[in-house]
Amino acid sequence: MTRVLIANRGEIALRVIRACRELGMETIAVYAQGDEDTPHVALADEQYCIGPAPAGLSYLNVQNILTVALEAKADAIHPGYGFLAENPGFAKLCHSLGLVFIGPSPEAIEAMGNKTRARELMEAAGVPVVPGTGPLTDGAEAEAMAAEIGYPIMLKAAAGGGGKGMRLVEEQESLSRALEIARSEGEAAFGDARVYMEKYIQCPRHVEIQVLADNHGNVVHLGERDCSVQRRHQKLLEEAPCPVLTPDLRARMGEAAVRAAKAVNYSGVGTVEFLLDKEGKFYFMEMNTRIQVEHPVTEMITGIDLVKAQLQAAAGEQLAITQEDIEFRGWAIECRINAEDPQRGFRPAPGLIQEWQGPGGPWVRVDGVARSGWQVPPHYDSMIAKIIVWGQDREEAIARMKRALLETRVEGIPTTIPLHLEIIASKDFISGNYSTALLGRLLEKGR
């Protein structure tokens, strides 16, 4: 594996290019019209335009991407995250054309992408799951199952992810309408209107376990990330480790994540996501079969380059580490800097960045493409950068993140920086005793 095409854009494309260079691999960038001057295009060894700016005509255009891959004589494709990263059909096409898909097998992607099938597999593997159902056939079945499980319940799109196709139902009177909306959103977002039901775990923590596997049956976990600071089920801030996990709970969650990966013959990097309730019980939620946006916090506390590990696994190399080799040092926090206006319901705020000045100093990392004079496009995700810090302990990491955020200057568009400063200064966050309800409470206070 010597020539890698990156089927993505922005900070993850830049991240993959850097990892490839360290491994001596040549890189091929693809870009949409309007992305010509982005850093990943400049840094790659070769560059190819794949269509107009809308993602459906470019970064989701399978034919154009694969045509470029063959013309450029790529031998592998890295999908990054989002876009085609969890599309089993795309992975199958790559394999059929003799291209290495840098990720798990199409079968593993498909198994974990179907949320009801994933629940069945996890139950068979002994991984705890939230009480729930398979795909619901009609409203009468939904009412019967909700009564059996007990309200509140959560309706979820069977092919869902990223918070799409999810509806909280607290009483029977709301069920019929919520089911209709969840089906409609699932069809619109994933082309699949099937919906299933789970017991709603109130005020949980969202804790995910990073796994790393090779093609030879070896799987390890790299500890957890707490991703409980969210808006509309989408993460804003992540930290590693989780403030409330004991060594015993970490070991049990890690072992469950490894079982989950082995159940689908997983290879590469992946994330098993759990809900953790107030009593310390954890439940499988889903598995993301790709590199995660928040992977840097794991890298900071383990010293393991996850993207390089992903490339090495795809190249057929065996894991160079065992579970006993993995050590956790210090504390890391990541803040996603989005071009959004939190005061207006997190409305996306594309536009011209008149001035950008990122933070620096010891143990501060910035992954992103934001820069002065850059026009943030309206066609894609609103994240323009990630600020990641490391500290010897949580207190130092919080202080360092505050310093880094105050040092960051963005003129011309609103961002989530002021909200991040509010979050890390809140009593609940500082205590470590918070849940997925944290942001809602902070926003309510601000009204």
Determine phi and psi for 333, rounding to 5 degrees.
-135, 140
Told to judge if 365 belongs to the known catalytic residues of this protein, a careful annotator would answer: no
**Given the structure tokens 């960051």, which residue do they identify?**
408
Round to whole Å and give the CA distance between 292 and 351.
Answer: 26
On the 0-12 / 13-18 / 19+ scale of CB atoms within 10 A, 76 is buried
**Which of the following is catalytic: 225, 290, 336, 400?**
290
Nearest to 420 by CA among 447, 383, 379: 383
H helix count then E strand count, the chain: 15, 22
The total number of residues written for the chain in this structure: 447
| Direct distance between the N- and C-terminal alpha carbons of the chain, in angstroms, rounded to an integer | 54
CB-CB contact of 387 with 412 (8 Å)? no
CB-CB contact of 103 with 114 (8 Å)? no
Instruction: Give 396-429 as a DSSP string.
Output: HHHHHHHHHHHH-EEESS--SHHHHHHHHHSHHH
Round to whole Å and give the CA distance between 256 and 23.
Answer: 32
The DSSP output letter for 104 is: S
Residues taking part in catalysis: 290
